[in-house]
Amino acid sequence: MRVLGVDPGLTRCGVGVVEGVAGRPLTLRGVGVVRTPADAELGLRLVAIEQGIEQWLDEYEPEVVAVERVFSQHNVRTVMGTAQASAVAMLCAARRGLTVALHTPSEVKAAVTGSGRADKAQVGAMVTRLLRLDAPPKPADAADALALAICHIWRAPAQNRLQQAVAQNRLQQAVAQNRLQQAAALHASKPASHHASKGRTA
């Protein structure tokens, strides 16, 4: 599985591509940051982020795009910019028919470090270790993007099993409901047929 991790942000949007499967060593394919000038008009910044992500999708052809799930923060202006950049990444992936996975920061931290409260330094250190790098990727946004990709690769098997179980349960419920409806329809039709036959006999 090849995953493009996106740590959304207007000024710095971290991107990183990791390939591998759960339980085996992972491979770094690429890491970087899509930057936009803070003094540029918002629409132009979003276009720049779109173009940057499209270039990564073209070059690395990931199967999945893992994006950090935006959550409420005290700084509304910051979270709005993060949400806008996140939407651009999701749009780019969806337009190509790619799977989009959302992971919260605590999920990513827990998956990579074992603690949902790990700081950026701990995340960077574990990313360095897991991908067998010489040094933590800089800036932290790039390391966070790799952590997102790693998180998805490790969590995907469990998520797939859960989704399959849910789908199977829904299918069973639908079949049972259909049988009930058929039985009810058959039961409702019997008296009508009986009365009709009596009328014909008379």
Q: Where are the alpha helices (DSSP H) in 96-139?
A: 105-113, 120-130
Sign of torsion, CA 127 91 70 158?
Answer: negative
β-pair type (27-35, 2-7): unpaired
Q: Per-residue pLDDT tens for 150-202?
A: 999 999 865 545 445 556 677 788 888 888 888 788 877 765 555 455 555 44
pLDDT digits (tens, 9 = 90+) for 81-135: 999 999 999 999 999 999 999 999 999 999 999 999 999 999 999 999 999 999 9
Convert the pLDDT of each residue in 39-56 to its tens digit.
999 999 999 999 999 999
Q: How many CB atoms lie within 10 A of CB 79?
A: 15
Task: Tell me what pLDDT residue 15 has.
Answer: 98
Q: Which pLDDT score is estimated for 202?
A: 46
Q: Residue 59: pLDDT band by 50, 70, 90 thresholds?
A: very high
Report d(CA 148, CA 54) in Å as an integer: 18
pLDDT of residue 41: 97
The residues assigned a catalytic role are: 7, 68, 141
The tokens describing 185, both together, are 């329809």
Q: Give me the half-sphere count of Cα atoms (radius 13 Å) on the Cβ side of residue 152.
A: 28
